[in-house]
Structure 1
Amino acid sequence: MSHHQFYHDRTLSSGRPSLWQAFSDKSIIKREITAGMTGFFAISYIIIVNPMILADAGIPVNLSVFATILSSVAGCLMMGFWANAPIILTPGMGVNAFFTYTIVVNMGLSWQQALAISMLASVLYMLVAFTKLSTVLSAAIPAALKTGITVGIGLFLVEIGLEKAALIQPGKASLIELGSLTNPNVLLFLFGLFVNLMLFIKKVNGGFLIGIAVTAIAGILFGIHGSQSAHVSLSDFTSYGAIVGKGDFSHLFSLPFLLAVFSMSMILIFESMGMLEGILPDKRNFKRTFEGSATTSLISGILGTSPTVVAAESAAGIESGGRTGIMAVTAGILFALSLFFTPLLGYIPQAAIAPIIVITGAIMMQQLKDLHFDDFSSWFPAFLIIVLIPFTSSISTGLSFGFVAWPVLKILEGKAKTLHPVMILLGALFLINLICSALL
């Protein structure tokens, strides 16, 4: 039996090792550190991308970089020491777009009010996570919808990866079209995709990390560099207080504010629930991990950024062998060190990161196998979640349509008595959310 198989079997049979056991086993430490490095480099783009998105909400880029890094450090350490889970928490793609383009740009609220909305939504998230509501919701929400959330976010990641690689782009006669295959970035992405797939299929330990390095070096040799637009100097840290604890609750009782709180709390709760149930190696650790995720999302709002969520890229580290909190702690340390090396991250081309994002999304989409396609009223709501998340670039929209469709189809099928009261309530709340959002 190979060492990899022994480690895998031991993890499955007895659960993940305790943090102390992991630290006591050099072979586990090596694997976990490699997994943490892999997960970090797969998600490291968030250090640059998140501030760029939040800049459209009015948050200064150089200060947002600090908030992004510090909230990621807090999240990873929380996952490591509180939950002992191989999960990386960072400000999330999708929820940061909701923060910027829905709350600030479309609804006309300020970024300070958006931070307040994030904090209140996180408090609701914590109320669920630290009470029996987490168990009630987890039991009440059908497995098909949980699968739909995981798969939908996976497909969203695939779309993001392909866009970063310029393999797809907005079409002139269609929504999207194939990018130019003569584009150097596209060619570098295809090279990186081949390298990473080869390493992944051959189950090379730390394969994603090796793939990123090989692709980045190849890109630099051919003059392809990453974004240099997010430079930050440690001297800027003296101004960081300008965005810390700046949540504005003055519009607390206005309808747009309350709707935004509801929508964001639903995104945080159900995205995290679906993500954790989809990628967490030891499902018995769900409660502790869920609590840590909720707590860090509140901390991130105080630190001046959109909420942290379970990074889908955690799957890259898990696929590399991550099973304990050492993986998360490693990623957290690397996030902290990135404060000093942020300019260097800019040299990693997007095309070197994109293959990892695409493969990670594909891994998440494997959950499709859990859908029962012979039960239309069960898989169609999941289908709505899966297609509407990437097609609308809105996790909230996908969740809303899926959760509304579930009770409607069950009633039409004559199975109203099988509906859990929680699902009826959630369906009604999401329907109200859709109606009110359309009227705003």
Structure 2
Amino acid sequence: MSLLDRTFQLSARGTSVRTEVLAGATTFLTMAYIVLVNPAILSTTGMPMAGVAAATCLAAAIGCLLMGFLANYPIALAPGMGLNAYFAFTVVQGMGVPWQTALGLVFISGVLFVILTVAGVRQLIVNAIPRALFSAIAAGIGLFIAFIGLRGAGIVVDNPATLVGLGEIREPTVLLALLGLAILGALMALKVKGAILIGIVATAALGWVLGLAEWKPQPYSLDEMTATAFALDIPAALGIGGGGLTLALIEILFVFLFVDLFDNVGTLVAVSKKAGLMRPDGTIPRLNRILFADAGATIAGSLAGTSTVVSYIESASGVSAGGRTGLTAVVTGLLFLAVLFVAPWAQAIPAAATAPALILVGGMMMAPLTEIDWDDPVVAIPAFLTLISIPLTFSIANGLAFGVVAYAVLKVATRRVDKADWLLFGLAALFIVRFAYMAAEG
């Protein structure tokens, strides 16, 4: 028996090194777009784009390697879509938190992930929140991301009469984004592997050729590549030297914690089912190891200079290609390390080329809505409030709050309360206090 076979239990899971390598490459191709999209989002905060691109590759590589060696699962990790938007547009731009402090909060959330996993609290929270809210939050974040893409492309603009309206179609940026939507949509409909990454690069190339975007390649610079490394400000995140640990900082930590938890649980269930790795009773083997890998990757990502790292549903593409062990994740991680050396090229990609990816990735996140029982008002109303509140209030926290509070209220109204709901009601009470605080501050 080879070393790889012993390490990853290849024979026991009915797979081979060749199959696992192919599966890892497939997963990489389907999620490699994050190397371009994540820097495009986080750079809006003033973070150096080359530094974020390098941090994205490094965080993804570390997360995948941890998942592969520690948990032996074919699940890949990278900075999460949705949480990067929350980091950039809500925390930094909306709340005025410096990006260095926001990175400090990501680091603290990673440490809390470890503590809560050891204490078993993360598992309690998973059991307390109804699955319908998991689905609504995922879809709401999808709408949030798509809206950011539409706005960034200039397709949707401010309108004083109707709040939002259609942008000027003749603008070069809008034309390039629409062209990109057509290219990405066609590639995805044709089921081309790596469709999003190929579409972004093709759109950028067409933009340069047609004069709809400027070609601004940047030389390789170690200083630029490491510009976000160890830039996090942990004392500021803890409120040391300032006004103390405010409710706003606690809220940010709360959202980082919850959305990461929901992302991971949803991905774990979907990928584990597809790979045949779930136990007959529906539980996931080595769950704690998986959560530790996620927490370690988030801590490493914050040190490198990127937002929270999560499990990627794109891992299902590798499982479809035959991936059954952690070797799939390890191969994906090694490919992210290889891409690290071309990270500065992310700066040359125009925003109009990445905007279509945001729009379509957001659209693909609507799939969980089919899992909601829309015929049951106790489930459907909180799910809808969560879904609609996230994009319209430009806040994942608000959507989560509306959903949890509404669900608790309807459980009481319909007398469907049981002893297992104590944590749910505790969370609802915290959210009500948050709303009261916001009203008083306003």
TM-score (norm 1): 0.79
Q: 1:270 aligns with which of 233, 258, 261?
A: 258
- Residues 178-221 of structure 1 show CA distances to partners (whole Å, capped at 9, x for unaligned) of 12222333333333333333333333334334433433332232
Q: 2:29 aligns with which of 27, 37, 44?
A: 37
Give the alignment's Cα RMSD to 1 decimal: 3.7
List alignment gaps of at least 5 residues for structure 1: 1-16
Contact 1:231 1:342 in 2 (8 A): no
Structure 1 residue aligned with 2:180? 192
Structure 2 residue aligned with 1:377? 378
- Residues 292-337 of structure 1 show CA distances to partners (whole Å, capped at 9, x for unaligned) of 222222233344544334467x479669859565665455445444
**Cα distance in 2 for residues equivalent to 1:230 and 1:397:** 39
**Cα distance in 2 for residues equivalent to 1:169 and 1:124:** 39
SS at 2:161's partner residue? coil
- Residues 97-145 of structure 1 show CA distances to partners (whole Å, capped at 9, x for unaligned) of 6556666667666655544433333322222334432322222211111
Deviation at 1:276, TM superposition (A): 2.9
Q: 1:52 aligns with which of 44, 58, 69?
A: 44
**Cα distance in 1 for residues equivalent to 2:171 and 2:316:** 27
Structure 2 residue aligned with 1:180? 168
SS at 1:416's partner residue? coil
> 2:169 is matched by which residue type in structure 1?
L
Structure 1 residue aligned with 2:3? none
SS at 2:212's partner residue? coil
Structure 2 residue aligned with 1:216? 204
Q: 1:160 aligns with which of 139, 142, 148?
A: 148
SS at 1:169's partner residue? strand
Contact 1:71 1:299 in 2 (8 A): yes
Contact 1:162 1:354 in 2 (8 A): yes
SS at 1:45's partner residue? helix
Q: Does 1:141 align with 2:129?
A: yes
**Cα distance in 2 for residues equivalent to 1:174 and 1:321:** 47
Distance 1:296 1:85, change over 3 A: same
Deviation at 1:226, TM superposition (A): 6.9
**Cα distance in 2 for residues equivalent to 1:396 and 1:63:** 28
**Cα distance in 1 for residues equivalent to 2:10 and 2:207:** 38
> 2:74 is matched by which residue type in structure 1?
A
Deviation at 1:369, TM superposition (A): 1.0
Distance 1:253 1:101, change over 3 A: farther
Contact 2:264 2:310 in 1 (8 A): no
> 1:412 is matched by which residue type in structure 2?
A
> 1:85 is matched by which residue type in structure 2?
P
> 2:272 is matched by which residue type in structure 1?
D
Deviation at 1:273, TM superposition (A): 2.9
- Residues 249-281 of structure 1 show CA distances to partners (whole Å, capped at 9, x for unaligned) of 663598862524532333233212322343442
SS at 2:25's partner residue? helix
List alignment gaps of at least 5 residues for structure 2: 1-7, 279-283
Distance 1:368 1:43, change over 3 A: farther
**Cα distance in 2 for residues equivalent to 1:65 and 1:171:** 34
Mean Cα deviation higher: 255-264 or 126-135:
255-264
Contact 1:225 1:349 in 2 (8 A): yes
**Cα distance in 2 for residues equivalent to 1:216 and 1:320:** 30
Mean Cα deviation higher: 23-32 or 424-433:
23-32
Q: Does 1:79 align with 2:67?
A: yes
**Cα distance in 1 for residues equivalent to 2:425 and 2:112:** 20
Mean Cα deviation higher: 174-183 or 372-381:
174-183
**Cα distance in 1 for residues equivalent to 2:191 and 2:84:** 33
Contact 1:161 1:355 in 2 (8 A): yes
Q: 1:89 aligns with which of 66, 78, 84?
A: 78
Distance 1:95 1:204, change over 3 A: closer
**Cα distance in 2 for residues equivalent to 1:388 and 1:81:** 39
Distance 1:110 1:41, change over 3 A: closer
Contact 2:15 2:323 in 1 (8 A): no
Structure 1 residue aligned with 2:271? 281
Structure 2 residue aligned with 1:346? 347
Structure 1 residue aligned with 2:245? 257
SS at 2:32's partner residue? helix
Deviation at 1:19, TM superposition (A): 6.8
TM-score (norm 2): 0.79
Number of positions where the alignment pairs a residue of Structure 1 with one of Structure 2:
418
SS at 1:346's partner residue? helix
Deviation at 1:389, TM superposition (A): 1.2
**Cα distance in 2 for residues equivalent to 1:349 and 1:316:** 29
Distance 1:25 1:396, change over 3 A: same
Structure 1 residue aligned with 2:113? 125
Mean Cα deviation higher: 32-41 or 327-336:
327-336
Distance 1:249 1:40, change over 3 A: closer
Distance 1:183 1:73, change over 3 A: same
**Cα distance in 1 for residues equivalent to 2:165 and 2:420:** 41
